[in-house]
Structure 1
């Protein structure tokens, strides 16, 4: 985003006050606490019921912010910055977002409904990401503030938008429609959530449908109320694209067949019939999956592609999270919502999880199910009627035990069988030790105000509390960033060696397979064998194969890099013994790295050894650049590229072959785009690391190494911390111990005041020597307690920063993280 202020003034109906309307802005902010606010940020001073951002303008100016949208100019800030004065800053933000949206012309999917918006959004992003560079709402940014913030994140690289719109009363959707301007509309499930703002269901549907007032197509489950209201504003160029389980007149008719833990959907559209498989059985997930399917059908995807991609849909850990519990229990964490409609969905999910957990238990009486339930909100029903319906749901789902928490549900305790109640969460926690939880599936469902996360913490199985969180969305983003630098015909190999640079090999390989990269690269045969055994089908190149691994490479259909005559002859001998024909190999040339590869003076002997041999096929010719990241050594880099061109051309001419050629690594992709040849090899860049500060701004952080505070103590002046007493307290000092050390991959050189961790967004310096399993930090002045989260690296400190301080490279920091550190993969 780079916009001139003078072009914004009229769009938001502002009066400009000061003298520099030619200035440009490159970001929008509403958060005065954000460290990303800069001189080119346009800050909207929003006024809420409990806060007025105008109070923070003086402080923001001192920090360098120069551009503000305000209702008035504070006296202490006049003449010190550029001000765009408006009547209402929220309306101005929405007008700005609508203007910014109008600058882009690509398909935009708008989602609304009572349930399923975020899941459908995430799934659509997953299904369409191999073909589109999509921008979507972060998390659940679907409000009057969240939607404009989502839309202003669009940039020139995006060619598809997916945005949620949530409303709670009248006159809200019209504003969101002008911001999102969806060309494709999706109406997800309509339930009772947020009914309070509407007189009846029809009123709510009519308001939600306003999002699609100018959409080319509206996708929805066929429904009389929707049909009637949709056509009330539908113009001539719009189409309704409906689906149904019951109404055969729908554009797409669906029948479902549950099998084991999956569902098979038979799809009938016009004269076409086919079946897809999804890995879910609960009604909500099935309906959300069909909404996604309808988009693929509208985009006219090939049936085979639809089938392959739909099969890969994954659970979105947003509200319903399945966790291992104490005493062989399974926990379903839905601890942030409590309305009647979502209770029905959660109970359906509970049943499917119980079946999965107890599939091998012959005695069906062992299938115990417990529900821990708070007072229910957003129902729109009188309490007596509501809890009567809840009790009926509990009975129909054969719940073994109900634990109710809240004054209202306690008043209706007698409606439930085998039910105990507590007035609040604190009473339950106080009674926890006398309650017995064992061999059961437990649904924990409560409104946010009840803080049921404390109950989840009590029931969850305790494991090693240091984890490396891997953001799969960030990997997709980084992959697409580097793809955008390539010519259309250029192929891409992605390196997943060394356990995916420490981030986890298989999970990342699976994602890359979904994104249709052309090759995966590993260092040694056992890495490739592991991926093949886990079901990865992409071709995998083994970069450093040992002669002793050739038989295993052939057995598992891996493709070896050959870098010496000795290795070539050994491989050909085994290939001939196995009577192979045209087995793929890759020829490595040494153009100046002087590590592995055929040098110029061995090319003639290589040609003689290869000529006429039918057992092998040269799939690619490659080399490796030594200085692609150092622009001071461009001459050497160009000499490598020129030599690679010369030697590879000679091989191709003499052998009459047309293999894939590749020499560029991550830095080479950015610094030598004219030398892409036929393929490039993406490595550390995929994992969010660049040696170029400007490029780093466009990459997303992938790995966040987290732990917790095990213990806090205060030591007096003169006392020491750790082995060798290398830290001596000069004053009373609060020390926190973190359960991570050099056995987990943290360099001892990062201790003794060199490094820091982040606690509550503040730096905590590492004091004393780093131990095998622990390190200690100074938390004096930080408001923290035992159990609080600690960031070892991620956004702060970054692996680049740590590497710089330790005089090493980010590769070493990432790949040093021990296998005993659990990897947790997630999508935002």
Structure 2
């Protein structure tokens, strides 16, 4: 079936489903494959549950006219998303970076939605499947699309950019994330910069943080809208100290967020800059940024009587860990406790990066430190830092309720599921 014909059927449907457990009535079911599953096997079940078409790539599972056979279901999904993006013809903002992508995306969406009907990536659906699902969630009512792009190896951002065809783009930062796939920090820089290379090649607009020396290398490009604390950016920003939370001053407005950590000031500034470019009123941007509350284990602040808990258990890499630890040390509350889990996808750098972080903790001012996971367990530390090979070892040793005041940081890679520690505090 031609992509134009598939798109006509898509427009008549109620959207796309890829999971038979979450079938939307009237949707098109795309039978994706993985290493351990083949959704072609569940295509008939999807129709029984309310899907109107099942897109499959194995003829033996076809049972009639509601089954649409294609060469490759994933490729069909991606091509349909690109076709739909061009059909809509709306401005698309592409977003990537090592840290802060999802928070920045949510802030941009909050600010732009004060004036426009926006559609942004849901959660962290930012890969080769998530990006097409995001594009296909947009419709004729959508005025601006915001597409988060994640990657753990080179050429992935380039591929996602060709699919989403962004008109604007922003990179949050270049940090020590997914070092295994990128082959080191230089690989991270080249991989993430594929977004800017796409924008340059297609004469699109880059939003640029002039306080980032790596990003400043793109200053020779003409279509730039910048922010920063010096060097005469388009949007001058002053970063403020406002207790434990990020705050900025811009265009005469002091904006105080509910985001823990001064490092989130850059994310706020980026969102302000992009909303300013699209002519959202400054007072409306201020409202949006101040009212945004983080969720989904990302820099969540949980208050329990005399105890403040910073739950940041969605992701971790050396750059974000260092920022979170620095922020904890700067907070006025005492005592300070850190419960930290292994950082994944570090490749050959894993041992050295975990050891460096352990030494940083050993020299720091945090009162109690618990490190959990195989990588952290293999580090050399003194007895002040308590090490556990598994979360189960930690939970068995930890005395429930022994931390009842001060501030606690809980941070680790998603696979560590450190939000479980909330049960013991």
Class of the TM-score when normalised by the shorter of the 2 chains: 0.7 to 0.9
**37, 40, 56: which is aligned to 1:51?**
37
Kindly state the Cα deviation for residue 56 of structure 1 after the two structures are TM-superposed: 1.1
SS of residue paired to 1:456: helix
Partner of 1:374: 341
CA contact (8 A) 2:341 2:373 kept: yes
CA contact (8 A) 1:184 1:215 kept: no
Partner of 2:119: 135
Partner of 2:316: 338
Partner of 1:404: 371
Distance in structure 1 (CA, Å) of the matches to 2:335 and 2:11: 65
SS of residue paired to 2:337: strand
RMSD after superposition = 3.1
Are positions 1:95 and 2:84 aligned together? no
Unaligned runs of 5+ in 1: 13-20, 268-272, 359-366, 460-828
Kindly state the Cα deviation for residue 52 of structure 1 after the two structures are TM-superposed: 0.6
Distance in structure 2 (CA, Å) of the matches to 1:374 and 1:22: 43
CA contact (8 A) 1:169 1:198 kept: yes
**300, 316, 341: which is aligned to 1:321?**
300
Are positions 1:289 and 2:268 aligned together? yes
Partner of 2:231: 248
TM-score, scaled to structure 1: 0.46
Change (3 A) 1:161 1:435: closer
Change (3 A) 1:297 1:136: same
**56, 65, 71: which is aligned to 2:57?**
71
CA contact (8 A) 1:277 1:310 kept: no
SS of residue paired to 1:169: coil
**394, 399, 418: which is aligned to 2:361?**
394
Change (3 A) 1:84 1:281: closer
CA contact (8 A) 2:299 2:311 kept: yes
Kindly state the Cα deviation for residue 201 of structure 1 after the two structures are TM-superposed: 3.3
Distance in structure 2 (CA, Å) of the matches to 1:329 and 1:281: 15
SS of residue paired to 2:175: coil
**398, 404, 420: which is aligned to 1:454?**
420
**151, 167, 189: which is aligned to 1:167?**
151
Kindly state the Cα deviation for residue 375 of structure 1 after the two structures are TM-superposed: 2.4
Larger Rg, first or second structure (1 or 2): 1
Unaligned runs of 5+ in 2: none
Distance in structure 2 (CA, Å) of the matches to 1:209 and 1:275: 32
Change (3 A) 1:225 1:11: farther
Distance in structure 2 (CA, Å) of the matches to 1:447 and 1:311: 26
Kindly state the Cα deviation for residue 51 of structure 1 after the two structures are TM-superposed: 0.6
Kindly state the Cα deviation for residue 113 of structure 1 after the two structures are TM-superposed: 0.9
Distance in structure 2 (CA, Å) of the matches to 1:143 and 1:419: 37
CA offsets 1:200-257 (integer angstroms, 9 cap, x no match): 43443333333342363111223454344686xx6xxx60223334x51544443323
CA contact (8 A) 1:195 1:204 kept: yes
Partner of 2:399: 433
Change (3 A) 1:57 1:404: same
Distance in structure 2 (CA, Å) of the matches to 1:371 and 1:23: 50
**13, 16, 29: which is aligned to 1:28?**
16
Change (3 A) 1:66 1:438: closer
CA offsets 1:387-441 (integer angstroms, 9 cap, x no match): 34213432565101111222332232x4246122222111222223388323232
Partner of 1:531: none
CA contact (8 A) 2:362 2:385 kept: no
Change (3 A) 1:63 1:395: closer
Distance in structure 2 (CA, Å) of the matches to 1:7 and 1:146: 19
Distance in structure 2 (CA, Å) of the matches to 1:23 and 1:331: 46
SS of residue paired to 1:103: helix
Distance in structure 2 (CA, Å) of the matches to 1:310 and 1:396: 39
